[in-house]
Amino acid sequence: MFVAVALVLVLACFVLPHLFKKMVGRPKRAWPFQIVNAVLSFGFLALIPSQAYVEPNVFLAGFYDIMGLYIMFQLYFLVYMVVLALIVFGAKKASKGPEGKGPKAFGKWAAVAGLVVFAGLVVYGAVSARFFAVTEYEIALPGLEKPVTLVHAPDLHLGNARGKAYLESVLEAIIAQKPDIVFYNGDLVDGKLALRDEVFELFKGVKAEQYFTTGNHEYYVGANLVIDWVKKAGIKVLRSELVITHGFQLIGLEYMNADRESSDPHQVNQLALNEELPKIRRRTDLPLVVVHHSPVGVDYVRQGGAAAMLSGHTHGGQVFPGNLIIASRFPMYKGRYQVGPMTLVVSQGLGTFGPMMRLGSQNELQVIRFLPAPSPAGTPGKDPLADPAPDPDPVPDSGPERASEPDPDAEATLAPIDG
Protein backbone atom coordinates (compact mmCIF):
# COMPACT_ATOMS: atom_id res chain seq x y z
CA MET A 1 0.00 0.00 0.00
CA PHE A 2 2.80 2.42 0.90
CA VAL A 3 4.55 1.76 -2.43
CA ALA A 4 1.30 2.28 -4.33
CA VAL A 5 0.71 5.62 -2.63
CA ALA A 6 4.30 6.67 -3.38
CA LEU A 7 3.88 5.84 -7.08
CA VAL A 8 0.62 7.79 -7.33
CA LEU A 9 2.30 10.67 -5.52
CA VAL A 10 5.04 10.76 -8.17
CA LEU A 11 2.32 11.31 -10.75
CA ALA A 12 0.66 13.95 -8.59
CA CYS A 13 3.91 15.87 -8.05
CA PHE A 14 4.93 16.02 -11.70
CA VAL A 15 1.79 15.52 -13.79
CA LEU A 16 -0.62 17.71 -11.80
CA PRO A 17 1.23 21.06 -12.23
CA HIS A 18 1.71 20.27 -15.93
CA LEU A 19 -1.98 19.48 -16.50
CA PHE A 20 -3.10 22.57 -14.60
CA LYS A 21 -0.76 24.74 -16.68
CA LYS A 22 -2.11 23.23 -19.90
CA MET A 23 -5.71 23.86 -18.86
CA VAL A 24 -5.44 27.28 -17.24
CA GLY A 25 -2.30 28.75 -18.74
CA ARG A 26 -0.88 29.36 -15.27
CA PRO A 27 1.74 29.13 -13.91
CA LYS A 28 4.00 30.03 -16.84
CA ARG A 29 6.50 27.37 -15.78
CA ALA A 30 5.42 24.14 -14.15
CA TRP A 31 8.82 22.81 -13.11
CA PRO A 32 9.33 24.97 -9.97
CA PHE A 33 6.01 23.70 -8.59
CA GLN A 34 6.93 20.14 -9.54
CA ILE A 35 10.18 20.34 -7.59
CA VAL A 36 8.57 21.94 -4.52
CA ASN A 37 5.75 19.37 -4.63
CA ALA A 38 8.21 16.50 -4.80
CA VAL A 39 10.41 17.76 -1.95
CA LEU A 40 7.47 18.40 0.40
CA SER A 41 5.49 15.28 -0.50
CA PHE A 42 8.35 12.82 -0.26
CA GLY A 43 9.61 14.56 2.84
CA PHE A 44 6.25 13.74 4.39
CA LEU A 45 6.31 10.13 3.19
CA ALA A 46 9.82 9.67 4.60
CA LEU A 47 8.50 10.46 8.09
CA ILE A 48 6.36 7.30 8.15
CA PRO A 49 8.79 4.40 7.49
CA SER A 50 11.53 6.22 9.42
CA GLN A 51 9.05 6.74 12.31
CA ALA A 52 10.44 10.25 12.73
CA TYR A 53 6.87 11.48 13.15
CA VAL A 54 6.70 9.95 16.64
CA GLU A 55 9.47 12.21 17.97
CA PRO A 56 8.52 15.19 20.20
CA ASN A 57 9.36 17.80 17.56
CA VAL A 58 6.78 20.58 17.16
CA PHE A 59 8.07 21.56 13.70
CA LEU A 60 7.85 17.99 12.40
CA ALA A 61 4.40 17.62 13.97
CA GLY A 62 3.10 20.71 12.16
CA PHE A 63 4.70 19.66 8.86
CA TYR A 64 3.25 16.16 9.24
CA ASP A 65 -0.29 17.46 9.89
CA ILE A 66 -0.34 20.03 7.06
CA MET A 67 1.31 17.82 4.46
CA GLY A 68 -1.04 14.94 5.22
CA LEU A 69 -3.95 17.12 4.15
CA TYR A 70 -2.08 18.56 1.17
CA ILE A 71 -1.24 15.09 -0.14
CA MET A 72 -4.88 14.04 0.06
CA PHE A 73 -5.77 17.17 -1.93
CA GLN A 74 -3.14 16.29 -4.54
CA LEU A 75 -4.41 12.73 -4.93
CA TYR A 76 -8.04 13.78 -5.33
CA PHE A 77 -7.22 16.65 -7.67
CA LEU A 78 -4.92 14.47 -9.80
CA VAL A 79 -7.70 11.99 -10.55
CA TYR A 80 -10.07 14.83 -11.37
CA MET A 81 -7.57 16.59 -13.67
CA VAL A 82 -6.69 13.40 -15.57
CA VAL A 83 -10.38 12.74 -16.23
CA LEU A 84 -10.94 16.39 -17.18
CA ALA A 85 -7.96 16.34 -19.58
CA LEU A 86 -9.34 13.28 -21.34
CA ILE A 87 -12.77 14.92 -21.67
CA VAL A 88 -11.32 18.16 -23.05
CA PHE A 89 -9.00 16.30 -25.43
CA GLY A 90 -11.92 14.26 -26.79
CA ALA A 91 -14.11 17.37 -27.07
CA LYS A 92 -11.40 19.22 -29.01
CA LYS A 93 -11.10 16.34 -31.45
CA ALA A 94 -14.86 16.33 -31.98
CA SER A 95 -15.28 20.11 -32.05
CA LYS A 96 -16.01 21.84 -35.33
CA GLY A 97 -15.24 25.28 -33.91
CA PRO A 98 -11.98 27.14 -34.54
CA GLU A 99 -9.15 25.42 -32.64
CA GLY A 100 -11.60 23.92 -30.18
CA LYS A 101 -12.06 27.17 -28.25
CA GLY A 102 -15.23 25.95 -26.55
CA PRO A 103 -13.64 22.86 -24.96
CA LYS A 104 -10.54 24.89 -24.05
CA ALA A 105 -12.60 27.49 -22.18
CA PHE A 106 -14.57 24.73 -20.48
CA GLY A 107 -11.34 23.02 -19.40
CA LYS A 108 -9.98 26.26 -17.93
CA TRP A 109 -13.00 26.99 -15.79
CA ALA A 110 -13.53 23.34 -14.85
CA ALA A 111 -9.91 23.13 -13.64
CA VAL A 112 -10.31 26.23 -11.46
CA ALA A 113 -13.64 24.98 -10.14
CA GLY A 114 -12.09 21.59 -9.33
CA LEU A 115 -9.26 23.28 -7.46
CA VAL A 116 -11.78 25.10 -5.24
CA VAL A 117 -14.07 22.10 -4.77
CA PHE A 118 -11.36 19.62 -3.77
CA ALA A 119 -9.63 22.12 -1.52
CA GLY A 120 -13.01 22.64 0.17
CA LEU A 121 -13.53 18.88 0.42
CA VAL A 122 -10.22 18.42 2.23
CA VAL A 123 -11.03 21.31 4.59
CA TYR A 124 -14.40 19.69 5.31
CA GLY A 125 -12.64 16.38 6.06
CA ALA A 126 -10.17 18.13 8.35
CA VAL A 127 -12.97 19.80 10.30
CA SER A 128 -14.89 16.50 10.53
CA ALA A 129 -11.83 14.84 12.07
CA ARG A 130 -12.01 17.21 15.05
CA PHE A 131 -15.36 15.82 16.26
CA PHE A 132 -16.63 12.41 17.27
CA ALA A 133 -19.97 10.64 17.48
CA VAL A 134 -21.21 8.49 20.34
CA THR A 135 -22.65 5.18 19.16
CA GLU A 136 -24.42 2.67 21.38
CA TYR A 137 -24.75 -1.11 21.22
CA GLU A 138 -26.59 -3.61 23.37
CA ILE A 139 -25.10 -7.10 23.66
CA ALA A 140 -26.72 -9.94 25.58
CA LEU A 141 -24.21 -11.96 27.62
CA PRO A 142 -25.50 -15.39 28.70
CA GLY A 143 -24.83 -15.84 32.38
CA LEU A 144 -24.47 -12.15 33.21
CA GLU A 145 -26.49 -11.23 36.28
CA LYS A 146 -26.66 -7.42 36.04
CA PRO A 147 -26.34 -4.86 33.20
CA VAL A 148 -22.83 -3.47 32.68
CA THR A 149 -21.83 -0.40 30.66
CA LEU A 150 -18.44 -0.48 28.95
CA VAL A 151 -17.07 2.44 26.95
CA HIS A 152 -14.86 1.25 24.10
CA ALA A 153 -12.28 3.89 23.15
CA PRO A 154 -9.65 2.61 20.70
CA ASP A 155 -7.43 4.60 18.33
CA LEU A 156 -7.24 7.93 20.12
CA HIS A 157 -3.86 8.57 18.46
CA LEU A 158 -2.69 11.18 20.93
CA GLY A 159 0.46 12.81 19.62
CA ASN A 160 1.13 15.20 16.75
CA ALA A 161 -2.45 16.09 15.90
CA ARG A 162 -4.30 15.40 19.14
CA GLY A 163 -3.44 16.38 22.65
CA LYS A 164 -4.90 17.72 25.87
CA ALA A 165 -7.90 19.59 24.41
CA TYR A 166 -9.18 16.66 22.37
CA LEU A 167 -8.64 14.20 25.21
CA GLU A 168 -10.59 16.49 27.56
CA SER A 169 -13.59 16.41 25.22
CA VAL A 170 -13.40 12.62 24.92
CA LEU A 171 -13.14 12.05 28.67
CA GLU A 172 -15.99 14.47 29.29
CA ALA A 173 -18.18 12.37 26.98
CA ILE A 174 -17.02 9.17 28.68
CA ILE A 175 -17.83 10.48 32.15
CA ALA A 176 -21.28 11.58 30.95
CA GLN A 177 -22.09 7.95 30.09
CA LYS A 178 -21.47 6.88 33.73
CA PRO A 179 -19.75 3.69 32.63
CA ASP A 180 -18.68 0.80 34.80
CA ILE A 181 -15.63 0.11 32.61
CA VAL A 182 -13.59 2.08 30.08
CA PHE A 183 -11.31 0.20 27.69
CA TYR A 184 -8.63 2.01 25.67
CA ASN A 185 -8.12 -0.64 23.03
CA GLY A 186 -4.75 0.21 21.50
CA ASP A 187 -3.23 3.11 19.56
CA LEU A 188 -3.82 5.40 22.51
CA VAL A 189 -0.61 7.21 21.58
CA ASP A 190 1.14 7.66 18.22
CA GLY A 191 3.60 10.43 19.10
CA LYS A 192 5.81 11.35 22.04
CA LEU A 193 4.38 14.88 22.15
CA ALA A 194 1.47 13.36 24.09
CA LEU A 195 3.69 11.87 26.79
CA ARG A 196 3.27 14.71 29.26
CA ASP A 197 1.90 14.91 32.80
CA GLU A 198 -0.74 17.48 31.82
CA VAL A 199 -2.17 15.00 29.32
CA PHE A 200 -2.10 11.76 31.29
CA GLU A 201 -3.28 13.36 34.54
CA LEU A 202 -6.66 13.82 32.81
CA PHE A 203 -7.36 10.08 32.95
CA LYS A 204 -7.46 10.28 36.75
CA GLY A 205 -10.73 12.20 36.48
CA VAL A 206 -12.51 9.05 35.25
CA LYS A 207 -13.94 7.16 38.22
CA ALA A 208 -14.80 3.96 36.33
CA GLU A 209 -12.42 1.03 36.03
CA GLN A 210 -10.00 1.79 33.18
CA TYR A 211 -8.13 -0.78 31.10
CA PHE A 212 -5.64 -0.59 28.27
CA THR A 213 -4.08 -3.00 25.81
CA THR A 214 -1.59 -2.33 23.05
CA GLY A 215 -2.07 -1.50 19.40
CA ASN A 216 0.59 -1.37 16.71
CA HIS A 217 1.36 2.34 17.26
CA GLU A 218 2.45 1.81 20.85
CA TYR A 219 5.28 -0.29 19.46
CA TYR A 220 6.35 2.48 17.08
CA VAL A 221 6.53 4.99 19.94
CA GLY A 222 8.02 2.46 22.38
CA ALA A 223 5.54 0.12 24.02
CA ASN A 224 7.18 -0.03 27.44
CA LEU A 225 7.51 3.76 27.49
CA VAL A 226 3.79 4.23 26.73
CA ILE A 227 2.80 1.53 29.22
CA ASP A 228 4.72 3.31 31.97
CA TRP A 229 2.70 6.48 31.33
CA VAL A 230 -0.55 4.52 31.19
CA LYS A 231 0.15 2.88 34.53
CA LYS A 232 1.06 6.23 36.12
CA ALA A 233 -2.39 7.47 35.06
CA GLY A 234 -4.03 4.69 37.09
CA ILE A 235 -5.09 2.60 34.08
CA LYS A 236 -4.70 -1.18 34.37
CA VAL A 237 -2.72 -2.70 31.51
CA LEU A 238 -3.82 -6.09 30.16
CA ARG A 239 -1.20 -7.79 28.01
CA SER A 240 -2.87 -11.07 27.09
CA GLU A 241 -4.33 -11.23 30.61
CA LEU A 242 -7.75 -11.75 32.16
CA VAL A 243 -9.66 -10.03 34.91
CA ILE A 244 -13.03 -10.93 36.36
CA THR A 245 -15.13 -7.83 36.86
CA HIS A 246 -18.83 -7.00 37.17
CA GLY A 247 -19.75 -10.66 36.79
CA PHE A 248 -17.91 -11.48 33.56
CA GLN A 249 -14.42 -12.33 32.35
CA LEU A 250 -12.53 -9.66 30.41
CA ILE A 251 -9.43 -10.48 28.36
CA GLY A 252 -7.21 -7.78 26.87
CA LEU A 253 -4.94 -9.22 24.19
CA GLU A 254 -1.56 -7.83 23.14
CA TYR A 255 -1.50 -6.65 19.53
CA MET A 256 -0.70 -9.70 17.38
CA ASN A 257 -1.40 -11.59 14.16
CA ALA A 258 -4.25 -14.06 13.95
CA ASP A 259 -1.84 -16.97 13.30
CA ARG A 260 1.53 -17.80 11.76
CA GLU A 261 0.09 -17.93 8.25
CA SER A 262 -1.47 -14.44 8.36
CA SER A 263 0.28 -11.45 6.85
CA ASP A 264 0.16 -8.06 8.53
CA PRO A 265 1.84 -4.90 7.19
CA HIS A 266 1.83 -3.65 10.79
CA GLN A 267 3.43 -6.73 12.34
CA VAL A 268 5.34 -5.68 15.45
CA ASN A 269 6.02 -8.97 17.23
CA GLN A 270 6.02 -12.74 16.71
CA LEU A 271 2.86 -13.44 18.70
CA ALA A 272 -0.12 -15.29 17.23
CA LEU A 273 -3.63 -15.10 18.62
CA ASN A 274 -4.41 -18.77 18.04
CA GLU A 275 -1.42 -19.64 20.23
CA GLU A 276 -1.70 -16.98 22.95
CA LEU A 277 -5.44 -17.11 23.69
CA PRO A 278 -5.43 -20.80 24.81
CA LYS A 279 -2.68 -19.98 27.34
CA ILE A 280 -5.04 -17.73 29.30
CA ARG A 281 -6.88 -19.78 31.94
CA ARG A 282 -10.53 -18.92 32.30
CA ARG A 283 -13.71 -20.13 33.95
CA THR A 284 -16.62 -21.86 32.29
CA ASP A 285 -19.34 -20.47 34.56
CA LEU A 286 -18.95 -16.78 33.59
CA PRO A 287 -19.38 -15.03 30.23
CA LEU A 288 -16.20 -14.03 28.38
CA VAL A 289 -15.45 -10.78 26.51
CA VAL A 290 -12.23 -10.53 24.48
CA VAL A 291 -10.68 -7.19 23.49
CA HIS A 292 -8.07 -7.10 20.71
CA HIS A 293 -6.99 -3.99 18.83
CA SER A 294 -7.39 -5.51 15.36
CA PRO A 295 -10.43 -7.46 14.13
CA VAL A 296 -8.37 -10.52 13.19
CA GLY A 297 -8.52 -14.04 14.54
CA VAL A 298 -12.25 -13.70 15.01
CA ASP A 299 -12.89 -17.41 14.50
CA TYR A 300 -10.23 -18.32 17.08
CA VAL A 301 -11.89 -16.01 19.59
CA ARG A 302 -15.30 -17.50 18.84
CA GLN A 303 -13.93 -21.04 19.20
CA GLY A 304 -12.40 -19.96 22.51
CA GLY A 305 -15.88 -19.47 23.96
CA ALA A 306 -16.18 -15.68 23.86
CA ALA A 307 -19.64 -14.15 23.90
CA ALA A 308 -18.31 -10.82 22.55
CA MET A 309 -15.20 -9.39 20.93
CA LEU A 310 -14.30 -5.68 20.69
CA SER A 311 -11.82 -4.30 18.15
CA GLY A 312 -10.72 -1.13 16.35
CA HIS A 313 -7.65 -0.49 14.14
CA THR A 314 -9.42 -0.10 10.78
CA HIS A 315 -10.57 3.53 11.26
CA GLY A 316 -13.52 2.54 9.07
CA GLY A 317 -11.25 3.30 6.11
CA GLN A 318 -10.84 6.89 7.41
CA VAL A 319 -10.89 8.71 4.04
CA PHE A 320 -12.51 7.96 0.70
CA PRO A 321 -11.72 5.67 -1.13
CA GLY A 322 -10.12 3.94 1.86
CA ASN A 323 -13.57 3.24 3.26
CA LEU A 324 -14.27 1.18 0.11
CA ILE A 325 -10.87 -0.53 -0.07
CA ILE A 326 -10.62 -1.50 3.60
CA ALA A 327 -13.15 -4.32 3.23
CA SER A 328 -10.67 -6.28 1.09
CA ARG A 329 -8.31 -6.45 4.07
CA PHE A 330 -10.87 -6.55 6.90
CA PRO A 331 -14.25 -8.02 5.85
CA MET A 332 -15.61 -6.90 9.24
CA TYR A 333 -14.26 -3.36 9.48
CA LYS A 334 -16.87 -1.28 11.30
CA GLY A 335 -20.04 -1.72 13.30
CA ARG A 336 -21.66 -4.87 14.65
CA TYR A 337 -21.39 -8.42 13.30
CA GLN A 338 -22.77 -11.74 14.47
CA VAL A 339 -20.22 -14.55 14.22
CA GLY A 340 -22.10 -17.65 15.29
CA PRO A 341 -23.05 -17.13 18.95
CA MET A 342 -20.43 -14.37 19.35
CA THR A 343 -21.01 -10.65 18.76
CA LEU A 344 -18.14 -8.66 17.21
CA VAL A 345 -18.13 -4.85 17.46
CA VAL A 346 -15.50 -2.93 15.46
CA SER A 347 -14.93 0.76 16.18
CA GLN A 348 -13.96 3.37 13.59
CA GLY A 349 -11.71 4.81 16.28
CA LEU A 350 -11.55 8.14 18.06
CA GLY A 351 -8.62 9.51 16.09
CA THR A 352 -6.84 9.48 12.76
CA PHE A 353 -3.49 8.49 11.34
CA GLY A 354 -1.64 10.27 8.53
CA PRO A 355 -3.92 13.05 7.34
CA MET A 356 -6.04 14.41 10.18
CA MET A 357 -9.10 13.98 8.01
CA ARG A 358 -12.35 12.03 7.90
CA LEU A 359 -14.27 11.56 4.66
CA GLY A 360 -16.71 8.66 4.40
CA SER A 361 -16.13 7.72 8.05
CA GLN A 362 -16.32 9.34 11.47
CA ASN A 363 -14.51 9.40 14.78
CA GLU A 364 -16.47 7.23 17.15
CA LEU A 365 -16.82 6.61 20.88
CA GLN A 366 -18.64 3.34 21.47
CA VAL A 367 -20.89 2.67 24.45
CA ILE A 368 -21.44 -1.07 24.89
CA ARG A 369 -24.28 -2.10 27.18
CA PHE A 370 -23.93 -5.73 28.23
CA LEU A 371 -27.29 -7.15 29.26
CA PRO A 372 -28.18 -10.36 31.10
CA ALA A 373 -29.40 -13.20 28.90
CA PRO A 374 -30.53 -16.72 29.76
CA SER A 375 -27.84 -19.38 29.43
CA PRO A 376 -28.47 -22.79 27.90
CA ALA A 377 -28.35 -25.29 30.75
CA GLY A 378 -27.63 -22.41 33.10
CA THR A 379 -24.05 -21.74 31.89
CA PRO A 380 -22.42 -19.67 29.16
CA GLY A 381 -21.29 -22.88 27.47
CA LYS A 382 -18.39 -25.29 27.79
CA ASP A 383 -15.17 -24.07 26.22
CA PRO A 384 -12.65 -26.82 25.44
CA LEU A 385 -9.80 -24.32 25.83
CA ALA A 386 -10.94 -22.99 29.20
CA ASP A 387 -9.91 -23.93 32.72
CA PRO A 388 -12.15 -26.95 33.49
CA ALA A 389 -12.39 -26.20 37.20
CA PRO A 390 -14.42 -23.09 38.13
CA ASP A 391 -12.94 -20.87 40.80
CA PRO A 392 -15.00 -21.51 43.95
CA ASP A 393 -14.54 -17.95 45.21
CA PRO A 394 -17.65 -15.76 44.98
CA VAL A 395 -17.66 -13.14 42.22
CA PRO A 396 -18.44 -9.59 43.39
CA ASP A 397 -20.94 -7.44 41.53
CA SER A 398 -18.35 -4.79 40.78
CA GLY A 399 -14.61 -4.34 40.75
CA PRO A 400 -12.02 -6.65 39.25
CA GLU A 401 -11.78 -9.93 41.17
CA ARG A 402 -8.38 -11.07 39.98
CA ALA A 403 -6.08 -11.14 37.02
CA SER A 404 -5.24 -14.50 35.55
CA GLU A 405 -1.73 -15.71 36.02
CA PRO A 406 -0.21 -15.96 32.53
CA ASP A 407 1.69 -19.18 32.12
CA PRO A 408 5.50 -18.80 32.20
CA ASP A 409 5.89 -19.50 28.48
CA ALA A 410 3.45 -16.75 27.56
CA GLU A 411 5.20 -14.24 29.80
CA ALA A 412 8.54 -15.08 28.29
CA THR A 413 7.08 -14.59 24.83
CA LEU A 414 5.79 -11.12 25.71
CA ALA A 415 9.04 -9.72 27.05
CA PRO A 416 10.66 -7.34 25.99
CA ILE A 417 8.62 -5.45 23.42
CA ASP A 418 10.08 -1.97 23.38
CA GLY A 419 10.17 -0.75 19.80
Strand order through the sheet with 308-311:
335-339, 342-346, 308-311, 288-291, 248-252, 241-245, 400-403
Report phi then psi at 336, rounded to 5.
Answer: -110, 140
pLDDT along the chain (419 residues), means of 10: 77 88 82 87 86 91 92 94 92 70 87 96 97 98 97 96 96 98 97 96 97 97 97 98 98 97 91 97 96 98 97 96 90 96 98 95 98 67 39 42 42 33
Q: What is the pLDDT of residue 51?
A: 86
Helix axis angle for 58-94 and 101-128, nearest 10°, is 150
Q: Are 343 and 308 in contact (CB under 8 A)?
A: yes
- Would you call 147 exposed, middle or buried from its count of C-beta atoms within 10 A (0-12, 13-18, 19+)? middle
Q: What is the pTM of this model?
A: 0.86
- Cα distance between residue 247 and residue 181, in whole Å: 12
Q: Convert 15-63 into a string of H (helix), E (strand) and C (coil).
A: HHHHHHHHHHCCCCCCHHHHHHHHHHHHHHHHHHHHCHHHCCCHHHHHH
- pLDDT tens by residue, 357-414: 999 999 999 999 999 997 665 444 444 344 433 343 333 344 555 444 434 333 333 3
CATH superfamily of this structure's domain 132-414: Metallo-dependent phosphatases (3.60.21.10)
The predicted structure's pLDDT at residue 405 = 41
Contacts of 88-97 with C-beta under 8 Å, sequence gap 24+, read 88/23
Any residues with CB less than 8 A from the CB of 403 and at least 6 apart, and which?
238, 241, 242, 243
Question: H-type helices in 206-363, by residue range?
Answer: 216-221, 223-232, 273-276, 298-303, 322-329
- Domain layout of the chain by residue ranges: 2-128, 132-414
Which residues, other chains included, contact 97 with Cβ-Cβ below 8 Å and sequence gap of 6+?
none
